[in-house]
Chains A and B, each alone.
Chain A
């Protein structure tokens, strides 16, 4: 289960629990419009309809109206957490837990929140506490029943299955992959001897949905510790999605497991130029960044997103990705100079961040600052030679300055690489332009510089 799915389910669970907890009362008579129950209900409806800010406001009002209502506090915690308002979420959960220290729904929510902010031990403790409330026989069965009994058990109980999945996710993020695998085997999440890696690769090449492919690679990581390539792909997929911590752990694990020196170099380079290298990102900063992206891209909430990006940078000043998003926000305002400034700050914070150099080069290119664009893009392709979009952009900057040989060299490389990996159509326009250049010499118009998505793990941000 992805962290994203976990969180969504957890929020749904929080709401469901609120529901079931108040169901009896609701059946008797509908709550008054401004009652805490009605406000929570409105918060739920707003959340379900994608009006997230409104959902948060409703949850806040519910918590104010009923400061001793666990359900209202959990609703507020869930929405605040979902919106990246972590201090507010933390406070709401803490109040809920103080009111109901033995409530398992509250514990579960706290565990999920703790995972999100990187407090893995706390998360595991909460889950252990939940298990500790079950009858001894059930605990024993859950812990020690053989795999062939575990499978039907989890199948019958989605809550239990989710519980196990969260435990595994926490262990993975914590970096204890061995324990995560042990748990996965114990609960028959993976079967011994099955080739999960081949299944994942088949899904990837067979056009499975991204979520299916992701889940398949996750199972490969859990079920086949020696499948270096699959572990690596999983890490690269996570990197594209913005999961810096787990992405790094997986790429490092894949790199450790591979026997090929070339792949080891490649893995080390990936960590250096894509995942911050010696500058690991705090989990809380990563979570804020991911939520900020959602608030910006999904909700169009520029102010909220900008604030969370700032907070993410305050926590991890060398985390490069938020700089690119701050630049994007500036571009949305038509402030190209502001965008350049953010990206320059990004490459100062992490001089090995290939994507930040790439983005800087593209913005300078759009501003027709050819010389500066050339420098930034030369650095880009130096860090990552197979960057097709970066090379085509560099080719354009060179062409604009009449540096024909450089243009030719960069275009040949980019077109050749893209054709080899991904088919001729990916670079059809630049290739067509290049053919004309070869036939007729320089033309009046600059070459196209598309930025195709060509390699798993090197996209987004």
Chain B
């Protein structure tokens, strides 16, 4: 038995990856989503199953996925940035991105590089793919390896990046790209990206968690809260985060339903309805968490600087970037998630997870 969504080795990235990772970076106490097999379907709940239940995946004991590299793959990791000992994110050193800042017409690759999306995609992809992995020892070595291979094949950062880039290219015109570049090339734009990248380091996760917990006793000033709420409003970060979480959860539910014998198979619409029912429950918790992370990540910025960032995101080029990046990421994750879940449950059918769990005895939620 496990929580389906919990802390991943990453946190807020760029606008887009912030959305995605926030789903996975929720503190353990913030969102308990249990996932287990009941009959032929996967059940999601904020309560553990009364009957003991069966683990589908478990995050703490799993090994990270190998990063697949390809000639055009983005770097597997970002250069280390010292995390701040202070309450909020460290003030990053002067940005020294790998890309050479250009003055001419912007390219999609440049925008995705400058926004931090490209360099942080592998971490995000790893975190998402890890949702499908069983906890250590739950399944046989053979089954575990089999699942690892399937996940690694589908959640390949290079391939996902290529899809996102092509999708982005189709949706954004050159004029919009150039307008986006004005922000991302600017010193403040680069500083914001550097902050997001710094906060995405796995070792920063506990700091964010501690920071979020500290907000209860020392809440953020009203002016800052207003700014991050507006940031969430213009980016739709909380919503998109929930969507990404539901993509993973839904993929498993759909695949489990499809793998059930015909006479016991849940009808497709009912499965979707069940997934929908999770949305409200997830959304409130995700919303709070995203705000806490934003407060942490942008802590080093002054209100004026953060407002400048929010104003960019609310501007036509900022909105165009948000729309294109969000939809590209969501679309590719949904597709990949559905394929992965189907293949995983085809390779290791739910019954095998159930019997493995029964043999091991029910475990307490972690």
Once bound together, how far apart are the Cα atoms of A332 and B230, in whole Å? Answer: 38
Which residues of A from 231 to 277 have beta carbons under 8 Å from B? Answer: none
Is there a chain A Cβ closer than 8 Å to B261's Cβ? no
Contacts of B175 in A (CB 8 A): none
Q: A444 contacts B322, CB within 8 Å?
A: yes
Which residues of B from 87 to 118 have beta carbons under 8 Å from A? Answer: none
Once bound together, how far apart are the Cα atoms of A440 and B233, in whole Å? Answer: 8
Q: A443 contacts B234, CB within 8 Å?
A: yes
Shortest CB-to-CB span from B310 to chain A, Å, is 9
Q: B267 contacts A332, CB within 8 Å?
A: yes
Q: B268 contacts A444, CB within 8 Å?
A: no
Which residues of B from 152 to 194 have beta carbons under 8 Å from A? Answer: none
Contact with B along A325-338 (1 / 0, CB 8 A): 00000111111000
Contacts of A335 in B (CB 8 A): 269
Is there a chain B Cβ closer than 8 Å to A445's Cβ? yes
Is there a chain B Cβ closer than 8 Å to A436's Cβ? yes
Q: Which residue of A lies closest to B254 (CB)?
A: A334
Q: Which of B267, B314, B319 contacts A333 (CB 8 A)?
A: B267
Shortest CB-to-CB span from B16 to chain A, Å, is 12
Once bound together, how far apart are the Cα atoms of A331 and B229, in whole Å? Answer: 36
**A-B interface pairs (CB < 8 A), number:** 38
Contacts of A333 in B (CB 8 A): 267-269
Interface size on B, residues (CB 8 A): 19
Given contact pairs A332-B269, A333-B267, A334-B272, A440 touches B236 in the complex (Cβ within 8 A): no
Contacts of A302 in B (CB 8 A): 267
Once bound together, how far apart are the Cα atoms of A445 and B327, in whole Å? Answer: 12
Given contact pairs A436-B233, A444-B234, A334 touches B323 in the complex (Cβ within 8 A): no
Q: B268 contacts A334, CB within 8 Å?
A: yes
Is there a chain A Cβ closer than 8 Å to B239's Cβ? yes
Once bound together, how far apart are the Cα atoms of A43 and B268, in whole Å? Answer: 33
Is there a chain B Cβ closer than 8 Å to A24's Cβ? no
Contacts of B359 in A (CB 8 A): none
Is there a chain B Cβ closer than 8 Å to A441's Cβ? yes
Q: A441 contacts B269, CB within 8 Å?
A: no
| Size category of the binding interface on chain A | 10 to 19
Once bound together, how far apart are the Cα atoms of A436 and B287, in whole Å? Answer: 15
Q: A440 contacts B270, CB within 8 Å?
A: no
Once bound together, how far apart are the Cα atoms of A56 and B233, in whole Å? Answer: 57
Is there a chain A Cβ closer than 8 Å to B235's Cβ? yes
Which residues of B from 212 to 237 have beta carbons under 8 Å from A? Answer: 229-230, 233-236
Shortest CB-to-CB span from B261 to chain A, Å, is 17
Q: A443 contacts B269, CB within 8 Å?
A: no
Contact with A along B297-314 (1 / 0, CB 8 A): 000000000000000001
Contact with A along B225-268 (1 / 0, CB 8 A): 00001100111100110000000000000000000000000011
Q: A445 contacts B236, CB within 8 Å?
A: yes
Contacts of A436 in B (CB 8 A): 229, 233
Contacts of B272 in A (CB 8 A): 334
Contacts of A330 in B (CB 8 A): 269
Contact with B along A414-452 (1 / 0, CB 8 A): 000000000000000000000010001101110000000
Shortest CB-to-CB span from B319 to chain A, Å, is 7
Shortest CB-to-CB span from A338 to chain B, Å, is 10
Shortest CB-to-CB span from B114 to chain A, Å, is 21
Q: B239 contacts A440, CB within 8 Å?
A: no
Contacts of A445 in B (CB 8 A): 236, 239
Once bound together, how far apart are the Cα atoms of A278 and B102, in whole Å? Answer: 72
Contacts of B269 in A (CB 8 A): 330-335
Once bound together, how far apart are the Cα atoms of A443 and B240, in whole Å? Answer: 13
Once bound together, how far apart are the Cα atoms of A292 and B322, in whole Å? Answer: 47
Shortest CB-to-CB span from B243 to chain A, Å, is 10
Given contact pairs A444-B239, A444-B319, A332 touches B234 in the complex (Cβ within 8 A): no
Contacts of B314 in A (CB 8 A): 440-441
Q: A334 contacts B234, CB within 8 Å?
A: no
Q: B270 contacts A332, CB within 8 Å?
A: yes
Q: B270 contacts A443, CB within 8 Å?
A: no
Q: Which of A334, A441, A444 contacts B267 (CB 8 A)?
A: A334
Contacts of B229 in A (CB 8 A): 436
Q: Which residue of A lies closest to B276 (CB)?
A: A366
Known: A334-B267, A334-B268, A444-B240. 9 other contacts (CB 8 A): A332-B267, A333-B267, A334-B269, A436-B229, A440-B233, A440-B314, A443-B234, A444-B233, A444-B236
| Nearest 6 pairs of A and B residues by beta carbon | A334-B268, A444-B236, A332-B269, A445-B236, A443-B233, A445-B239
